[in-house]
Amino acid sequence: MTGRALATGLLCAVSATALRAQPAPPYFAPGVITIAEATTYRPTFTPDGRTVIYSMEVGNDYVLLESRRVGGRWTPPRVLPFSGRWSDAEAALSPDGATLVFASKRPRTGARSTSPAAAAPRPPPPSAKASPTTP
């Protein structure tokens, strides 16, 4: 065995040992966002860090949920108003937090619809009054 091969093997062994020794990371908002009854994943946060939108598996489909940090705690999640009819998942917010894009199994319409993705303005908080420009 050459010196280089021995060094590479030793580095891999040390790295694997170090990874096994790491404690498991804590769950995010256990009992509110991370729950034992369902798979939740792919969180995206607003720029201020006070709102999280994430996917949850429901049977063979997915919904997008939102929770807000109020008084140091995450609120119970709510299904976003446009989600739930079709399978929606893997949300991402634009850097300014104004636009949400996500994968969806919505029916395609029009000649320009070539991918199963959708975009929507970020929904207002549940207590905000809807205006003609908000869904």
pLDDT tens string 9-45: 444 555 555 566 778 778 889 889 888 888 898 999 9
Are residues 116 and 107 in contact, defined by beta-carbon separation less than 8 angstroms? no
Percent of the chain with pLDDT over 90: 43
The pLDDT assigned to 117 comes to 53
- Tell me the pLDDT band of 102, cut-offs 50, 70 and 90: very high
| Nearest alpha carbon to residue 104 among 52, 46, 45, 61 | 61
Q: pLDDT tens digits, residue range 50-100?
A: 999 999 999 999 999 999 999 999 999 999 999 999 999 999 999 999 999
Task: Strand 88-93: give its sheet, edge to edge.
Answer: 88-93, 99-104, 117-121
**With 80 as the cut, is the pLDDT of residue 1 above it?**
no
Are residues 103 and 88 in contact, defined by beta-carbon separation less than 8 angstroms? yes
> What is the b/e burial string over 49-87, where b = at least 16 CB atoms within 10 angstroms of the residue's CB?
eebbbbbbeeeeebbbbbbbbeeeebbebeebebbeeeb
The pLDDT assigned to 31 comes to 87
